[in-house]
Amino acid sequence: MQNQGALQIPGSAEILSVLSNSSEFAVALATGGLSLSAELKLRRAGLPFTLMPFASSNDAVSREDILRIAAARAAEKRATQFARFTYVGDGVWDAKAARELGWGFIGIGSGEQADRLRQTGVQIVVPDYRPTEAFLRLFVDQDQARIL
């Protein structure tokens, strides 16, 4: 799906909306890029992100630290602590950061991108976020975390 020049992974707007309105999950966005660039891409893709906790390379250098900051902001917003986390990402570096932190990981990709994720040991790789109910089951079935 395309909106004003930015590519949106099919189902991403729906899953962000469902998760951010759920009492069972807490959502945070994390990017290794600069926050201004990431916010521009999210806006152009039409993704609902403005009320979500967010961390970027403006906050830290290492991807692991960026993820920790995003998780801490989600916990602060929900006034709780989380025992488990699942990170959803499309890059090998995302999978490595999740593994380093001991978090669950769901890979998003198809073709060569999916192959690269699987080669790094990612067990769950899906091409997109559709259908929403099936994607949500990936968290419930794993009894995994409440942070994306």
User: What CATH number did the domain enclosing 87 receive?
Assistant: 3.40.50.1000
For residue 134, is it within any domain? Answer: yes
For residue 128, is it within any domain? Answer: yes
In angstroms, how far is CA 48 from the centroid of its own chain? 13
Number of domains in the chain: 1
Domain holding 81, by residue range, is: 2-142
For residue 148, is it within any domain? Answer: no
Per-residue model confidence (pLDDT) at position 46: 84
For residue 62, is it within any domain? Answer: yes
For residue 53, is it within any domain? Answer: yes
- Helices H / strands E in the chain, number of each: 6, 7
Residue of 33, 91, 30 whose CA lies nearest to 64: 30
Torsion of CA 74, 8, 32, 103, to 10 degrees: 50
Its pTM stands at 0.86
CA 80 to each of CA 67, 77, 85, 111: distance values in angstroms, whole numbers, following the listed order: 17, 8, 13, 38
Per-residue model confidence (pLDDT) at position 21: 87
Kindly give the parts of the chain with pLDDT less than 70: 1-6, 141-148
Per-residue model confidence (pLDDT) at position 42: 86
Per-residue model confidence (pLDDT) at position 140: 73
For residue 94, is it within any domain? Answer: yes
